[in-house]
Structure 1
């Protein structure tokens, strides 16, 4: 059945596997995507959404490099929101609510249209390794398929165990069997493995909900889109989400099932995601809180299935049902399926190189939850990088990596391989010390040239990006070179409660003021004339505005990074009291107290200690 040797075999067709297969195939490598069920390609196992804080930046970076996640997010979107618009642009993060069925369908169709890509449905039960080099895979039917490189993207399927109350059964996802054999072989080869946990909330029948008792959560009035390509368009109409709250009664009803909860009775001993805790974990850890938010999210344009975001749980199904019926708007709720927790094997990512190739076996790459991460976006970005490097290795080309100051993807990979992780890793803007540089609006400027060099981005997209860049730079220079008379600018300054000027000055200095917007500055005739005369679009105008208004922050960020590098070997006193640092995150304080690093360099490599936490530490040490 498989007479030829593939360049790349990708095992698993989730978000990581799909991006890995697309990247390798689009780079000209003969690629096989093998998965247990071809009907579940790029399945959204948990929430039906893409993007969010820091995650939206990752999706834009994937798109800028030529990946598919941004395009599919646009074609399957039912709502778009730009989060954190009230904050600075380094925090702006795009997010879409997705049609779950359309998302998976669009991914599959895009993959089927990708040249050099074959598909096969079966479970991979082992690897073929010769002289510390992977040379293929072995399936559950005993087939041996040869390849020059293999990318493992097994998600939660490696010895997956599903928990609902005091019941548990093998499975990689509800309704799907677990994958066996790979973990055991990798351990025999010398790999270190561990167990992690994640969970998901119940899905309910939207027809049984009373939305009049909930708070409406609409999308943006003028929605944008993820992809920089011209193959997608912004939404013209959207579906609303809704929000409700738990209550003390709901919490009491949930506590009644704690003795049957696998989280509290010892059945689950692996670590779950700190920043996406189950509802029972929330009411246990935050016992003084009377209520928690629940986001009621439709699963698509036409389906009545609803995702109850914030109610992730592994409690018995009868407890879930009874408690949820006490939530406002859920009094008559009907379940489609209960929530559950799942435990699965992972491999500490310190066993990987920056390319995501394993150190022990040449040609073998890991991507996604097998590396201890959580989230579609984190998985997809790893899949893209692993697929790229698998193809480059086969083609005997130089490896491809991203630095921390080049992309959130670079931060993610560097964190994983240098710090490792003992709990499911999730990306946040605070993890990136260069986040003012790594904005969602400039991902194309940062990464499209790299995608073009790899052969993943077409020349048309590159030229469009170069035009946007040159126009934005020229617009910034216009502000630096153009003066404005006091009588022309003072009326605008007065309206915005900004100090008036006594003489003419450069527009750049005026525009850099925090309370002067582009809308204000366009009231100056010369500015509006420039915009119209050079046919500047919204993206270019926004890019120039950010460069003007945040130039000082960007310069300061670069200087701080240089100082941090000079202080990397600074010794930390062994009796240092981390509890004094209230401005540091709780996670960082806990881990620093536990590990007690000897130097700043060691502290900065601890998972959960962000660059901003290290800066706080330096301040307390008088540096």
Structure 2
């Protein structure tokens, strides 16, 4: 049936698989996407939303690198919010509420319009490996499909087991069967595997809820969008979410089912996501709190189905119903489906290289929840990077590896392969040492030039980014070089309750004052004229304002990043024998031998490797 050898086969059609397939095909590789159900490509298995704290930065980075997630999120959005606006710009995080059905439909449409991409519906239950190199896959129909590289993006499907109360059954998510065979093949090859758990809340009929008892959560008055491209536009209308709370009565009712909870009676032994706990886990861990927030999220423009965020549970269905109907606004709630927990296989990511290629098998890549992550955004970014690197390797080009100082995606992948994870990994701004550099507003400036070099970003998009950079620098230079007199500026300073000046001063210095925003700066003489003459838009003004206000912090982080990058440039030879260096601690020798870091910088981030061990390595390397 398949006469030709594909360049890349992508196994799994979730967020990681969709981005991997798009990247590979767009880089000129003949690509095949195999999934168990083509109707469920890029389905939102959990909440109908994209972005959020740190996750929004990742979507912007995916978009800047030529991925599809930002465009699809914009096209299927029903609400936009910029989170953390009360904090500094390093913390601002875009988030959209999505139309679940339209999201999957837009993904399917974009993938079908991508050249070099074929589709096939079947279960992959085995791998074809010859002499330590992947050569293709075996399917449930008994087909052998050959390829030069394979990207595994199995999500929660590898030996997936669904739990609701004292019931459990095999499945990758509700209504879909689990995937078998791949774990067993990999373990035979010497891979280490483990089990993780995640969960999802009930879905209810929005017509049965009383929203008058809840707090409305509208979108931004002036909504933005995710994608830097001109393929999408900001929303002109939005749907609201709502907030309500559990109560002591709700908690007491939930506790009545703890003896039948798979989490408490020992049937679930795997670890769940620390930062997205189930409602029973929250009650148990935070026993002193008598209420918890719940966010009521519509699933789309037209559907009445509602996602109950904050009530993830695997308790028996009768307990779920009894307790949820005691929440304000849910007294008459009708259930579409109950919440459940799911256990699945994953492979500790320390078994990967920075390219997401496995260390044991050449040209085999892992991306998404198979690596122990949780979240659409984390999965999508890994899929994109795996798709890029599989294509580059086939084309005999240098690998594409993002540094921690270049992108949240770089932080995510480095954390996974250097430190590993024993619980579902979720990205936070606090994980990034250089978050002032890695803002959501400058992802295009950071990454589009790289994407253009890879062949993913168009010339038009690259030129637009260069123009944005040049005009930002032009405006900042104007502020640095142009003085303003006390007579012109003091009335503005007085109105803002900040110290007046008694001599002329450069606009840049005054604009950096925290009491002034750029609407005040635009009242300075000549500023609006300069903006008009140079066609400077609001996006450039925002870039300039951040540069002016945070210049000292940005410069400090750049210097720190430069120091780190010097260690990144000290390469450790492949298969270096750490056991011959007796000056290294025993733990360091064990960890370094297992993880095989590629640079001194990566070695310094491995848990258990001390500064003294790094000093030994530096001496040995002649530094």
- How far is the alpha carbon of 1:502 from its aligned partner? 1.1
CA deviation string 1:581-610 (max 9, x = no partner): xxxxxxxxxxxxxxxxxxx99885449x9x
Give the TM-score normalised by structure 1: 0.91
1: CA distance, partners of 2:560 / 2:367: 32
CA deviation profile, 1:39-70 (whole Å, cap 9, x unmatched) = 00000000000000000000000000100000
1:546 Cα offset (Å): 0.6
Residues 468-507 of structure 1: pairs in structure 2 closer than 5 A:
468-507=468-507
Counterparts of 2:11 and 2:165 in 1: how far apart (Å)? 31
Tell me the residue number matched to 1:460.
Answer: 460
Give the conservation status (yes or no) of the 8 Å contact 1:11–1:152: yes
| Secondary structure, counterpart of 1:294 in structure 2 | strand
Moved over 3 A (4+): 558-568, 600-607
Q: Which residue of 2 aligns with 1:46?
A: 46
1:562, CA displacement in angstroms?
6.5
Residue 263 of structure 1 aligns with which residue?
263
Displacement after TM superposition at 1:556 (Å):
2.4
Determine if contact 2:356/2:385 at 8 Å carries over to the other structure. Answer: yes
Q: Is the 8 A contact 1:65 1:450 kept in 2?
A: yes
The farther-off stretch of 99-108 and 451-460 is: 451-460
Counterparts of residues 177-188 of structure 1 (less than 5 Å): 177-188=177-188
Aligned twin of 2:420: 420
The DSSP-based 3-state class of the residue aligned with 2:135 is strand
8 Å contact kept, 2:245–2:328: yes
RMSD over equivalenced CA pairs, Å: 1.8
Mapped partners of 1:306, 1:65: distance in 2? 33
The secondary structure found in structure 2 opposite 1:63 is helix
Q: Assess, with a 3 A threshold, how the Cα gap between structure 1 residues 430 and 6 changes in structure 2: closer, same or farther.
A: same
The answer to whether the 8 A contact 2:202-2:337 is kept is yes
**1:185-229, Cα deviation, whole Å (9 max, x unpaired):** 100000000000000000000000000000000000000000000
1:410 is aligned to 2:405: no
Instruction: Quote the offset at 1:405 in angstroms.
Output: 0.5
Q: Which runs of 5+ in 2 are unaligned?
A: 569-584, 586-600, 610-623
State the Cα distance separating 1:524 from its structure 2 match: 1.1
CA contact (8 A) 2:418 2:605 kept: no
Per the alignment, residue 248 of structure 1 pairs with 248
- Deviation per CA, 1:51-109, whole angstroms, max 9, x where unpaired? 00000000000000100000000000000000000000000000000000000000000
Other-structure match for 2:376: 376
SS for the counterpart of 1:137 is strand
Counterpart Cα distance in 2 of 1:230 and 1:554: 29
C-alpha separation in 2, matches of 1:467 and 1:602 = 39
Deviation at 1:558, TM superposition (A): 3.5
Shift of 1:403: 0.4
1:118 is aligned to 118
Q: How does 1:18-37 map to 2 (within 5 A)?
A: 18-37=18-37
The question of 1:395 aligning with 2:395 is answered yes
3-state DSSP of counterpart to 1:445: helix
Match of 2:80 in 1: 80
Name the CA distance, whole Å, in 2 between partners of 1:346 and 1:141: 25
- 1:415/1:605 contact within 8 Å kept: no
Q: Distance in 1 between matches of 2:252 and 2:270?
A: 26
Separation in structure 1 between the aligned mates of residue 555 and residue 313 of structure 2, nearest angstrom: 45
User: Displacement of 1:429 after TM fit?
Assistant: 0.5
- Offset of residue 563 of structure 1: 7.4
SS at match of 1:151: strand
Q: Distance in 1 between matches of 2:607 and 2:369?
A: 19
Q: Does 1:155 align with 2:155?
A: yes
Q: Quote the Cα distance in structure 2 between the aligned partners of 1:556 and 1:22.
A: 37
Distance 1:561 1:121 in 2: 45
SS at match of 1:525: coil
Q: 1:290 to 1:606 in 2, by over 3 A?
A: farther
Q: Deviations over 1:155-201 (max 9, x none)?
A: 00000000000100000000000000000110000000000000000
Q: Unpaired runs of 5+ in structure 1? A: 569-573, 575-599, 610-623
Q: CA deviation at 1:494?
A: 1.3
| Structure 1 counterpart of 2:198 | 198
Which secondary structure state, in structure 2, belongs to the residue aligned with residue 388 of structure 1? helix
Alignment of 1:329-340 (within 5 A): 329-340=329-340
